[in-house]
Chain A
Amino acid sequence: DTGVSQNPRHKITKRGQNVTFRCDPISEHNRLYWYRQTLGQGPEFLTYFQNEAQLEKSRLLSDRFSAERPKGSFSTLEIQRTEQGDSAMYLCASSSTHYQETQYFGPGTRLLVL
């Protein structure tokens, strides 16, 4: 399987706990994006990387959220001190930087904060 993979697929946690999600992009893609999708809404952009550099962060990305992409390969998204409002699907996508690139999405990690 050469698509984008995400782990875990589901996560249930208690309010106040920290959680970390992982995304492995398509191997030749140097751009990686994180989005969040709540019920009945379209995905909303959180942040993206080109190689290991984090190029942009959305206002949605509060101080409790941090993302990394060491060595420009996989990426992690950590949420500290989770709140019930963090419950959502977290989607990862990757793309190349070639002209007219397309973002390809992983299956997502569904987070439920109790």
Chain B
Amino acid sequence: AQKVTQAQTEISVVEKEDVTLDCVYETRDTTYYLFWYKQPPSGELVFLIRRNSFDEQNEISGRYSWNFQKSTSSFNFTITASQVVDSAVYFCALSVQNSGNTPLVFGKGTRLSVIA
């Protein structure tokens, strides 16, 4: 079975601080995909990034960066110079490759509050 753990329930930072959201996953499959989604107060889940299990390169997109480490089964997300608009709930998710991607397994989310 697959499982995603986001141990941080809530984080509060002051604007311009850097913040890292942790994600630890469990799966016995060797081919899998990891995702991060953002859920602002409006409720819609917004896709941020997808990573496959064979690509451990870290990725940077503007103020966002992701650190994927298979050795520790972690896929952490860092926001640099946080802004008030980053306030949202962030979800890490996992799917495995079984003749096409299976449904996503989500963590419980981390609520990020960025204070001006």
B62 within 8 A of A: no
In the assembled complex, which residues on chain A have CB atoms less than 8 Å from the CB atom of B46? Answer: 105
Number of interface residues of A (CB under 8 A): 28
- Contact (Cβ within 8 A) B108 A107: no
In the assembled complex, which residues on chain A have CB atoms less than 8 Å from the CB atom of B101? Answer: 95, 100-101, 103
Interface-central residue, B93, B100, B107, B109, by most chain A CB under 10 Å = B100
What is the interface of chain B mostly: helix, strand, loop, or mixed?
strand
In the assembled complex, which residues on chain B have CB atoms less than 8 Å from the CB atom of A95? Answer: 101
B52 within 8 A of A: yes
Residues of A bordering B, CB below 8 Å: 31, 33, 35, 40-45, 48, 50, 56, 58, 89, 91, 93, 95, 97, 100-108, 110
Contact of A103 among B43, B44, B104, B108 (CB under 8 A): B104
9 A–B pairs (Cβ distance < 8 Å), ordered by A? A33-B104, A40-B108, A43-B45, A43-B91, A48-B103, A58-B103, A104-B47, A105-B37, A105-B47
